[in-house]
Chains A and B, each alone.
Chain A
């Protein structure tokens, strides 16, 4: 991995517009191609791309602080979130949606566990990442919006078309699921 990929894309003395210009030059194709995954209609693709740029400009300080090797993931998650928002507004069921929450998820574990006695400081991060990747996509999307995009609860709730209280519940449940998957898979190692 090159050192350049570990550095923020932003450079000293570069203003926001110059930074956005470089984002555009480097990632415009990626943004456009991901928008095309959600829509066939050209106008809607254009809307998603434009909205994605506006979102990135809104969260520009965060964007500028990111390392280069995280940026593609960040940007694509912005596009995905905007596309989901657009799909919801169109009253269409998105192919990737946030309504797939399984209420009886916890009960689906063969061996229900308690999270109370876990020492969360000793968690193996790589193993925990694998647990996160096993979450349903809807839960992953909420967690990405919260921890990668670092959007406010208001923005995430707006994207999902739910109230902030409902968002907090979903976030909490998503986190519990991830912790439970991790603990369930690695309880024998401790």
Chain B
């Protein structure tokens, strides 16, 4: 180190080299820091925080609420977007899903939207069995309903206690109306746009011949399931239920054409 200039050069050399040493050390330390062997206590951390001057954060209820609200809004937004996208690609599935939920939660009320759209997808994937229909939208409340294929309107003046309409299936030439009570017993009314359904074989299975509003009806009982079939005008009616014959007859006789 001969003179001042050379000393300065050496100082610069050491400064630059030691910074490189620090970089090399830092890389190792960054790796080490990923797996700390010791953790300071919260009490000690608070002591350090006080020393540095970090104030303990007081709970800001207004801010907390705003954050919660913003989070809720975000979540709600994503749900809406997700529902919209599903609806976009599977409109019928969503409609049916909503209908099923609505029916399950409101036993006294049923609504089914029928559209002219054909099904480009398999509804079985969604656990929903629904026959495609080709009719305009129909809304049904309790026991007033329309027969889709002829715009006829019928009303049930008698329905066994506890039963309510839960489902309509329109598949020409038949409209099916299903009722259910709280113990999950089913009563189904089928109205056919045809009079060719009572054949000889059915008559042979008949347990008895009954009358519904002066029309001859065939009653059969199979495994506790009552089945009553008769024709009236251009229609064939079938009432099917896990109910005694008397109840089924009352239902049949209560069907009025408005």
Could you list which residues of chain A lie within 8 angstroms of chain B, going by C-beta atoms?
17, 20-21, 24, 27-30, 32-33, 36, 46, 49-50, 53-54, 57, 69-74, 76-77, 115-116, 120-121, 123, 125-126, 128-129, 132-133, 140, 143-144, 146-148, 175, 178-179
Q: CB of B56 within 8 A of chain A?
A: no
Identify which of A20, A46, A129 contacts B20 (C-beta below 8 A): A129
A-B contact pairs, 28 of them (CB 8 A): A20-B52, A24-B52, A24-B54, A28-B40, A28-B48, A30-B29, A30-B33, A33-B33, A33-B38, A36-B38, A53-B48, A70-B19, A70-B22, A70-B23, A71-B26, A73-B21, A74-B22, A121-B9, A123-B13, A126-B20, A129-B20, A129-B21, A129-B24, A133-B21, A143-B14, A146-B18, A178-B14, A179-B10
Q: Chain B, 136-171, contact with A by CB distance < 8 Å: what is the 0/1 string?
A: 000000000000000000000000000000000000
Q: A29-B36, A120-B9, A132-B17 are in contact. Are A76 and B29 (CB under 8 A)?
A: yes
The smallest C-beta distance from B179 to any residue of chain A, in angstroms, reads 66
Residue of B nearest to A16 (CB): B53
Residue of B nearest to A56 (CB): B52
Within 8 A of A (CB), among B1-38: 1-2, 6, 9-10, 13-27, 29-30, 32-33, 36-38
B residues in contact with A179, CB < 8 Å: 10
B residues in contact with A70, CB < 8 Å: 19, 22-23, 26
The smallest C-beta distance from A82 to any residue of chain B, in angstroms, reads 14
B residues in contact with A148, CB < 8 Å: 18-19, 21-22
Could you list which residues of chain B lie within 8 angstroms of chain A, going by C-beta atoms?
1-2, 6, 9-10, 13-27, 29-30, 32-33, 36-40, 44-45, 47-49, 51-54
In the docked arrangement, what's the CA distance between A143 and B104, Å? 80
Q: A70-B22, A73-B21 are in contact. Are A50 and B48 (CB under 8 A)?
A: yes
A30, A72, A140, A148 — most chain B CB neighbours (10 Å): A72
Residue of A nearest to B54 (CB): A21
10 extra A-B contacts, CB within 8 A, seeds A32-B38, A146-B14: A28-B45, A33-B38, A69-B26, A69-B27, A72-B29, A73-B22, A76-B25, A129-B20, A132-B18, A144-B22
Determine if B10 and A120 form an interchain contact, defined as CB atoms under 8 angstroms apart. yes
Q: A17-B53, A72-B30, A73-B25 are in contact. Are A24 and B18 (CB under 8 A)?
A: no
B residues in contact with A76, CB < 8 Å: 25, 29
B2, B13, B27, B51 — most chain A CB neighbours (10 Å): B13
Determine if B52 and A53 form an interchain contact, defined as CB atoms under 8 angstroms apart. yes
A residues in contact with B23, CB < 8 Å: 69-70, 73
B residues in contact with A73, CB < 8 Å: 21-26, 29
B residues in contact with A144, CB < 8 Å: 18, 21-22
In the docked arrangement, what's the CA distance between A26 and B13, Å? 31
A residues in contact with B14, CB < 8 Å: 143, 146-147, 175, 178
A residues in contact with B49, CB < 8 Å: 24
The smallest C-beta distance from B126 to any residue of chain A, in angstroms, reads 47
Identify which of A17, A30, A71 contacts B52 (C-beta below 8 A): A17
Determine if A128 and B22 form an interchain contact, defined as CB atoms under 8 angstroms apart. no
In the docked arrangement, what's the CA distance between A116 and B3, Å? 11
The smallest C-beta distance from A128 to any residue of chain B, in angstroms, reads 5
B residues in contact with A53, CB < 8 Å: 48, 51-52
B residues in contact with A125, CB < 8 Å: 13, 16-17, 20
